[in-house]
Structure 1
Amino acid sequence: MTWDTPLSSLGGKKAKDVEKETGFATVGDLLGHYPRTYVDKGRLSELDDLVEGDFISMVGQVVSSELKTYQDKRTRRTAYRVLLQVKGEGGTLAMTFFAKSAGIANFHKNLFSPGAIGMFSGKLKWFNHRWDLNNPNYRMYGAEGDANEALAKMPDLIPVYPVVGKIDSWALEETIGLALDLIDEIPESLPDAVRGDLISRAQALRWIHRPDDHGQLGAARKRLKFDEAFVTQMVLAMRRAEHRAEPATPRPITTGGLLDRFDQRLPFTLTAGQERIGDEIADELAGGHPMHRLLQGEVGSGKTLVALRAMLQVVDAGGQAALLAPTEVLASQHLRSISAMLGDLGEGGRLGAAEGATRVALLTGSMGTAARREAMLDAASGEAGIVIGTHALLEEKVQFFDLGLVVVDEQHRFGVEQRAALTSKAGTPPHVLVMTATPIPRTVAMTVFGDLDTSTLAELPAGRGDVQTSVVPVRTQPAWLDRAWARIREEVGNGRQAYVVCSRIGDEPPAEDAPDLFSVEELAPDLVAGPLTGLRVEMLHGRMSPDDKDPVMQAFAAGEVDVLVSTTVIEVGVDVPNSTVMVILDAERFGVSQLHQLRGRIGRGGHAGLCLLVTTAAPESVSMERLTAVAGTRDGFELSRIDLEQRREGNVLGVQQSGKRSALRLLSVVQDEDVIVAARDTATAYLLADPDLGAAPGLLAAVRAVEDSDQAEFLEKG
């Protein structure tokens, strides 16, 4: 039995079922499925701080077992249930086993006789004024009177595995145990020079599945966490090396060109961060290898200005720049803001253009045939130095004269195929600048975007107004919502504008778990007829056609609309400096980072802003904790860390994108910062000594496994 032996060859009662339900193909795949937690037999499980919906595992002793009958309403037949009371530390927990026949019910009643010791796992439910587990998974270790013997049979640490499909923890434990007994050799993935004092991979896998004590478990976790971090960083280090080996057309700064003339016209001074990052980008654009850089910063930190200066440098050097935006609203916003910043420098070929001016073109899917043809001709001929567009830029018939720089805005909305479709339109690999307004903690950027050099704009330009954020808990203070509408009237009375954000459009079915959510199409007329009577109220959402959306946005930007009732379509790119108040309804339905990004739309014109988070969340709930955190700080990096901890890294790193497995199972990009930093440094150094990993076949196999996983797909999206 080897690491690569098909799982179907393992034998045992459950192996084929495990293979079918989990998708694990080999013994190695199976051994990489680690326990979710461990139950210590040294004491019965504590029953304090229980939360409904939690999946709990407990060791306990049966106190009572009672058989009851009832009438099944669906079949109208007699059905059975066995009610247990199981003792743990600090109290007892009720359990209910349902059965269709008296035979099965009696089997359970006898199995769960008072005094028996067992381990039970299930989802916690509050029922009939008590905590209850319905039909939990279980394993019994002894019958009545054999408690000591039962405890002696139990391992000191009982592994509990994540349930996969119809396969429970016990079946996984049994099958994994069989694999550990039969496998001849577990290949080592770390070279000796890297491993140091870490235990071997074989020992780590045996101890992670069958630890005798917490010391063995800790050593196993330490080794396997480093494995995950090191192999991931090795993949990224190899990608960085590949990028640096590619040739690119240098695009050096041209004295007296568009960039110099643009800088001379700026009515303000660049922030220190904008200058520093601008110099980094300028040096890389002038180099003979393509730039691959991530530019992140808060909403309003000036990323677009940094990107525009890079685009002008490329245009001065004879090339073109393409700016890829995820939505037509954002693409149109970029066209307006870039055209306004350039003035006559962006009117190339038109009456009144400055000498040597370039042209800015827009290409979107909804444009008319004539406008579309003109934009494509401008791109192909080189007349347009800057081409802004949506997915329409990726179409095969769209060509560029000399594409030198690709700027991708809100990168997480584009996949590797889309980015490749655009960069392939260049004769030599273009420089790539990726922008995001979602702040990313350092270790997340290092793990997810590690093949990109990262620049961060941490400061906001002068003239930004302060934004106060407050939670409006309508469950306990319903009258506060009226005050929120009054605040909007006050701001509009002072010449300002407001956003009202809803989580629903209104034409979709209401959410099952929250049927009373506010919606744009229902709320807007209610506000006009009620608390905002007399104000100019318009609505905006993603399912409106561009012909309907654009006039609304332009009217709001021009100050012709007082209140915009919208979905999160305004989350990125909508820049109206006169807006000072935002009311976010059903705020608990939004993520932390999304709330932070939404409120970045107000206070952009030097006036103080107010963001009101309206929620029905319970006072002590996790949702209320999240909203309180948003109200408590404007540090986007701190909030993104909170968001990541609550959403967990699994979704961030692509664990659930398809049926394939992720390479990260133990590593936390928030909590294991020291491991990630050490692994990155070690991987970079090792690659210099062994560029093709010829001296480390086990490491090469692990790297290839990551490249075939979901994580690689996610990494590619950078």
Structure 2
Amino acid sequence: MPSSSSTDSALNPEAPAPEGSAPAAPASAKAEAKAETKAETKADPKPAPKAPARRGWPGVGPQLADRLARLDIFCPADLVLHLPLRYEDETRLTPLVDARPGQSVVCEVEVLSCEVQQRPRRQLVARAADQGGEITLRFVNFYPGQQKQLAPGARLRVFGEVRHGFFGLEMIHPRLKPVHQGDALPASLTPVYPTTAGLAQSALRKLTLRALAHVSVSEDLPETLRTRLGLPTLKDALHLLHAPPPEYRAIDLEDRQHPAWQRIKLDELLAQQISLRRAYAARRILNAPALPLKNTLTQALLAQLPFALTGAQRRAWGEIAHDVGSPHPMQRLLQGDVGSGKTCVAALAMLQAAEHGRQAVLMAPTEILAEQHYRKLATWLEPLGLEVAWLSGSRRKKAREETLGRLARGELLLAVGTHALIEDPVTLPLLAVAVVDEQHRFGVRQRLALREKGGRGESPHMLMMSATPIPRTLAMSYYADLDVSVLDELPPGRTPIVTKLVADGRRDEVIERVRQACLTGRQAYWVCPLIEESETLQLQTAQETFEMLSAALPDLRVGLVHGRLRNEEKSTTMGAFISGELQVLVATTVIEVGVDVPNASLMVIEHAERFGLAQLHQLRGRVGRGVHESVCILIFSQPLSQTGRERLKAIYEHTDGFVIAREDLRIRGPGEFIGARQSGVPLLRYADLDADAVLVDLARDAAETLLQHKPRAADAVTERWFGGKAALLKA
């Protein structure tokens, strides 16, 4: 195997982007990243300390270690689990006369000529031939070493996709290998790995083969299960996927249904299930206040509500009430579609604590959403003689300090707020129930900080709410450490929402539709993706739209709300819209969840193709909350990307949040769908939760077996896949 220096020599900064590397971020992502970087720099003028160079291992120096770290490879064992994206077949030669455009083939040729051409752009062009034909080899980006390899008379094996060119067949940036006549061909398929800038495939292949030879891979799956499923050992599966025997074809492996792939995916799912079950068990040994349901304040609330609970709400409340009555901390996810009544169920959970003289809090990710919850809870609970505290960063210092003092003394039992709830000055000595809304928008440590607010050496009962319904397979895999309650039923009387797709060239028609709706007494939202003009993104901005609509609708009152306004301004504008003083509200996605204005019957979303599917569904759910017929108009720009087209088709055809969630999972993948990077849940690299639902069931059962009978094997599985990352699950 190569030494560190020889391995690093394969990393050529002038070489074209290696195959399997991530594509460049779209303009929108680059603009957002630039804006975030600018904001962070402004907030903290001190330059960040330079990260120390990573320590490598034998054969891997610091520079190479840094590049491998971008792929989450920190040791030889990580290399073994860094599996190929696809394979290239270099086991057979194809004569040029048999090469067909669109095919990737290996040809053995002799170079006839080579020159650097300046027009139409600077490029290296070589003519080469075998006994039956000729081909042009073209390099737009090249370096001196390639020019030397292509000296006339050189004998090469070239691998690449054959195309029609101006002078006949050609290959663009083929892979070159000098050979002598009669040299043996590779005996197996050539793996192509996910990689990063400056890290060549050849370097990854050499490092991986060396790691395979030296890393010990234990077999931890119960033998009876492995033989019943007809799966190879983990060691055999890894060797087969990194170096497939000659009898295998690329197509046999690339669909990831081969038994070797099934063994890998089952091991990954097993690691995840073990980690999640251990996190669940760790919580079960903690102490929590046991608060059995007294049915005093809870029944008083139900008696005064102008509506009856749905069957789903009653079922979820029963599950929560049982958990809060237990001496172990509840860790429950309450999920439901837009408007399914999660806030009412949360209020009942908070009242169960208040019935025992204990404190309960609700934390929301944005000021607008938190204030909406505060207003609703105050309306419901103050008639019962309960004061609800309001905590946010925007409150005046004197009022804030008074509220903090009353909470610290236990005089206030209920509080609603933003991140302000987890700041150090907030003391909650009687905390028993903590509700986190839109939990995926909080980081792991933020949720942990709220849990640590409990006093008396107890952990509070945690209820996490999500307005993004989660498909069953995803909940089984990612939330195996949580108990899940589902609100799969909407309250009666909700008006169906009609969704319309409109090209941006018909904006004048949409403005007239807004005018007519508001003149009949209704109200309208107009949502935009950006706040101010961007050179990169030619999108309609909130500020521009506000000015445009104010001019186009002089007989209507138009308001503007976005994330960069001061909290007082946002609250004033939202209050004016809720009270009906404003007919049209121009907004960014700060109104995505929680805003409840029954009189609003029209939602217009600019550049809908730029929003995620879950976001579109949440925004659409801001209308249809009253008795009036409601419409959501999605304005889109051409040309649409494939993903944009799929999103708009799904939101147009479906109103059921669970169906939309399945589509969102299919389009985006599980990691983005649940915000796993924020949740602390280890991301799955190879298992597909739709295609591999059967493996999830098997992994869950196998995890229980290992945890009960072979805890050391369970340790080995989680260490192999997650290392120290599994500790984050404890939050």
Pairwise TM-score range, normalised by the shorter structure: 0.7 to 0.9
1:36 aligned partner, one-letter code? L
- Aligned mates of 2:639, 2:539 — CA distance in 1: 15
SS of 2:267's equivalent in the other structure is: helix
- The C-alpha deviation readout for 1:346-370, integer Å capped at 9, x for no partner, is xxxxxxxxxxx22211111111122
- The answer to whether the Cα contact below 8 Å between 2:125 and 2:137 also exists between their aligned partners in 1 is no
- The answer to whether the Cα contact below 8 Å between 1:82 and 1:105 also exists between their aligned partners in 2 is no
Q: CA deviation at 1:163?
A: 1.6
Q: Aligned runs of 1:292-691 on 2, under 5 Å?
A: 292-345=331-384, 357-426=385-454, 427=456, 428-474=458-504, 478=505, 480-506=506-532, 509-510=534-535, 512=536, 514=537, 516-530=538-552, 532-618=553-639, 621-651=642-672, 664-690=684-710
Q: CA deviation at 1:318?
A: 2.1
- The C-alpha deviation readout for 1:358-398, integer Å capped at 9, x for no partner, is 22111111111221022112312222221111111112221
SS of 2:604's equivalent in the other structure is: strand
Q: CA deviation at 1:492?
A: 0.8
SS of 1:246's equivalent in the other structure is: coil
- The C-alpha deviation readout for 1:491-548, integer Å capped at 9, x for no partner, is 1122111111111101x633x2x3x201111121112213x33211111100000111
- The answer to whether the Cα contact below 8 Å between 1:706 and 1:712 also exists between their aligned partners in 2 is no
- The answer to whether the Cα contact below 8 Å between 2:436 and 2:463 also exists between their aligned partners in 1 is yes
- Aligned mates of 1:93, 1:341 — CA distance in 2: 77
**1:348 alignment counterpart:** none
| Pair 1:261–1:654, CA change in 2 (3 A) | closer
**2:280 alignment counterpart:** 240
1:542 aligned partner, one-letter code? G
One of 285, 303, 315 as aligned partner of 1:276? 315
- Aligned mates of 1:93, 1:258 — CA distance in 2: 82
Q: CA deviation at 1:26?
A: 2.2
Q: CA deviation at 1:187?
A: 2.4
Q: CA deviation at 1:219?
A: 2.0
- The C-alpha deviation readout for 1:23-57, integer Å capped at 9, x for no partner, is 23322111111111123458989977xxxxxxxx9
1:202 to 2:244 alignment:
no
Q: Aligned runs of 1:81-92 on 2, under 5 Å?
A: 81-82=124-125
One of 158, 178, 190 as aligned partner of 2:210? 178
- The C-alpha deviation readout for 1:392-428, integer Å capped at 9, x for no partner, is 1112221124111000011012122222222222121
1:107 to 2:138 alignment:
no
1:670 aligned partner, one-letter code? D
One of 88, 93, 96 as aligned partner of 1:39? 88
Q: CA deviation at 1:335?
A: 0.7
- Aligned mates of 1:261, 1:93 — CA distance in 2: 83
Q: CA deviation at 1:341?
A: 2.1
- The answer to whether the Cα contact below 8 Å between 1:96 and 1:132 also exists between their aligned partners in 2 is no
- The C-alpha deviation readout for 1:596-654, integer Å capped at 9, x for no partner, is 11111111112222111111132573312221111111122232232233333354577
Q: CA deviation at 1:264?
A: 1.4
- The C-alpha deviation readout for 1:640-683, integer Å capped at 9, x for no partner, is 2322333333545778789x996632112232211112211321
Provide structure 2 residue ranges, at least 5 long, that are not aligned to the other structure.
2-53
- The answer to whether the Cα contact below 8 Å between 2:605 and 2:635 also exists between their aligned partners in 1 is yes
Bigger drift between 645-654 and 30-39 goes to 645-654
1:456 aligned partner, one-letter code? V
- The C-alpha deviation readout for 1:549-578, integer Å capped at 9, x for no partner, is 101000001111111111101001111111
2:626 aligned partner, one-letter code? G
- The answer to whether the Cα contact below 8 Å between 2:603 and 2:633 also exists between their aligned partners in 1 is yes
- Aligned mates of 1:458, 1:339 — CA distance in 2: 26
SS of 2:236's equivalent in the other structure is: helix
| Pair 1:131–1:438, CA change in 2 (3 A) | farther
**2:715 alignment counterpart:** 700
- The C-alpha deviation readout for 1:213-268, integer Å capped at 9, x for no partner, is 2668712111110000011001111111122222221111114x111111112222
Task: Give the CA RMSD over aligned residues.
Answer: 3.6
**2:105 alignment counterpart:** 59
| Pair 1:104–1:158, CA change in 2 (3 A) | closer
1:21 to 2:21 alignment:
no
- The answer to whether the Cα contact below 8 Å between 1:18 and 1:172 also exists between their aligned partners in 2 is no
SS of 1:397's equivalent in the other structure is: coil
Q: CA deviation at 1:94?
A: 8.4
| Pair 1:263–1:279, CA change in 2 (3 A) | same
| Pair 1:86–1:609, CA change in 2 (3 A) | farther
Q: Percent identity?
A: 37
**1:118 alignment counterpart:** 159
**1:227 alignment counterpart:** 267
1:430 aligned partner, one-letter code? P
SS of 2:274's equivalent in the other structure is: helix
- The C-alpha deviation readout for 1:433-481, integer Å capped at 9, x for no partner, is 000101211222222222111111111111111111122233xxx2x22
- Aligned mates of 1:131, 1:650 — CA distance in 2: 42
| Pair 1:527–1:289, CA change in 2 (3 A) | same
- The answer to whether the Cα contact below 8 Å between 1:331 and 1:390 also exists between their aligned partners in 2 is yes
Tell me the TM-score normalized by structure 1: 0.83
**2:45 alignment counterpart:** none
- The answer to whether the Cα contact below 8 Å between 1:663 and 1:709 also exists between their aligned partners in 2 is no
Provide structure 1 residue ranges, at least 5 long, that are not aligned to the other structure.
49-56, 346-356
**1:260 alignment counterpart:** 299
